[in-house]
Amino acid sequence: MLRQMLKSKIHRATITCVQPDYEGSIACDPELLRTADIQLERRIRESLKKNLKPNNKVVDWTHS
């Protein structure tokens, strides 16, 4: 049996930009990722609302 565990958590973050045509990744501020100890290309679990099923995504840096 393989268990997947979360290492870090960003709680109650505000979404500031959405690219609906680019499915499968999520962009975050690099400083926020460093603070949460989340590395580039790590799989994350995204839950936007309590009633939605979590989706697996891949972390990418924001291009600001």
User: CA-CA distance, 50 to 45, in Å (whole number)?
Assistant: 13
Is residue 56, in this structure, part of any structural domain at all? yes
Is residue 36, in this structure, part of any structural domain at all? yes
Domain hosting residue 36, numbered range:
25-61
The total number of structural domains that make up the chain: 1
Is residue 35, in this structure, part of any structural domain at all? yes
What is the reported pLDDT for 59?
A: 57
User: CA-CA distance, 9 to 2, in Å (whole number)?
Assistant: 21
Q: Which residues pair with 59 in a beta bridge?
A: 26
3-state secondary structure of 27: strand
* 34 Cβ contact list (under 8 Å, min separation 6): none
Q: What is the pLDDT of residues 6-59, one digit of tens each?
A: 778 777 777 777 666 666 667 777 888 888 888 776 766 666 555 545 555 555
